[in-house]
Structure 1
Amino acid sequence: MSDASRAWIKPVIAAVVLAAIGFGGYTALAKREVAPEVTFLSIKGEKIAPENLRGKVVMVNFWATSCTTCVAEMPQMVDTYNKFKAQGLEFVAVAMSYDPPNYVMNYAETRQLPFKVALDVDGSAAKAYGDVAMTPTTFVIGKDGKILKRYLGAPDFPALHKLLEASLKS
């Protein structure tokens, strides 16, 4: 087999692996798992404890400043938060453990991110949420503390907004 004819193999394998991961996420969420009891530490030094999020609809977005998809989706995440915060939406943007804290702080300050930004310095939050490795990965958690949806990659924002509208009303 020539190098040119093998060039398609890696992208196909990657697509199959991503599809398997996505399917695994779907089947796991079909059971409506309870969100992990994780206390986040914000870049401002405040603790974001699970008991302070109970009874609220929460988005937890794992991201990195080095992730082009994360950076591209962030303005839409800001718009989503601004659209639903008055209805009670909480949002925690969790920077991955490999993301230098000074990069995260600079990004959050220069973009004036309106929601809580946390550092996952030791990777424990990503591990608790099912070994999150791909960014962005976003979880929508219902008022009952159960995971409603997990998005791998950028979400379909119109569908996300419908899910948030329904969840915030209930």
Structure 2
Amino acid sequence: MLKTSAPNSVFVLLDGSSRSSADFKGRVTLVNFWATSCGSCVAEMPKITATYKAFHARGFDTIAVAMHYDPPSAVVHFTQTRGLPFQVAIDNTGQVARQWGDVAITPTSFLVDQRGLIVKRYVGEPDFAELNRLIGRLLPGA
């Protein structure tokens, strides 16, 4: 486990509102960097959705961060047609990706614990069975 502090980032959501990394404190959170043009990102979204639905009531959150090169209209269309139940942000400037270790490869995901520490980084699609076990261990009542 990495156990390094998550960067202090501001995520601009599709509705124009924003969230910061500090908003995740107290919840286990998956921060997923993705793009609509990334085949493996699109393929893993149903699994990310299933993980979110399985653990959200126990204190788990997900934020999907679309890369700076992804057209906002494509991100909005994808989010609406797939019915993504979690928050989606657009990293228009690439600043958020830089803050999270110069993310360039998609998908890249970070699992952040309740204290704001990154416990795991996934480059490429995670092993969802392993990810779900880890989330289950991090959540209260495990």
TM-score where L is the length of structure 1: 0.81
From the CA coordinates, give the structure whose radius of gyration is larger.
1
Q: What is the CA–CA distance in structure 1 between the aligned matches of 2:23 and 2:119, rounded to whole Å?
A: 19
Q: Which residue of 2 aligns with 1:136?
A: 107
* Structure 1 segments of 4+ aligned residues over 6 angstroms from their partners: none
Structure of higher RCO (CA pairs closer than 8 Å, 6+ residues apart): 2
Q: Which blocks of at least 5 consecutive residues in structure 2 are unaligned?
A: none
| Correspondent of 1:47 among 1, 4, 18 | 18
- Output the aligned Cα RMSD: 1.1
Deviation at 1:39, TM superposition (A): 1.1
Q: Matched residue pairs, number?
A: 141
Amino acid across the alignment from 2:37: S
Cα deviation, 1:128-167, whole Å, max 9, x if unaligned, reads 0000000000000001111010000000000000000011
| Correspondent of 1:71 among 34, 42, 57 | 42
Q: What is the CA–CA distance in structure 1 between the aligned matches of 2:4 and 2:23, rounded to whole Å?
A: 19
Deviation at 1:90, TM superposition (A): 1.1
Q: Which residue of 2 aligns with 1:15?
A: none
TM-score where L is the length of structure 2: 0.96
Cα deviation, 1:71-103, whole Å, max 9, x if unaligned, reads 000000000000000001111000000000000
Q: What is the CA–CA distance in structure 2 between the aligned matches of 1:115 and 1:74, rounded to whole Å?
A: 11
Deviation at 1:51, TM superposition (A): 2.7
Contact kept, 8 Å, 2:72 with 2:90, in 1: the verdict is: yes
Q: What is the CA–CA distance in structure 2 between the aligned matches of 1:80 and 1:60, rounded to whole Å?
A: 13
Q: What's the % identity of the aligned pairs?
A: 46
Amino acid across the alignment from 2:104: A
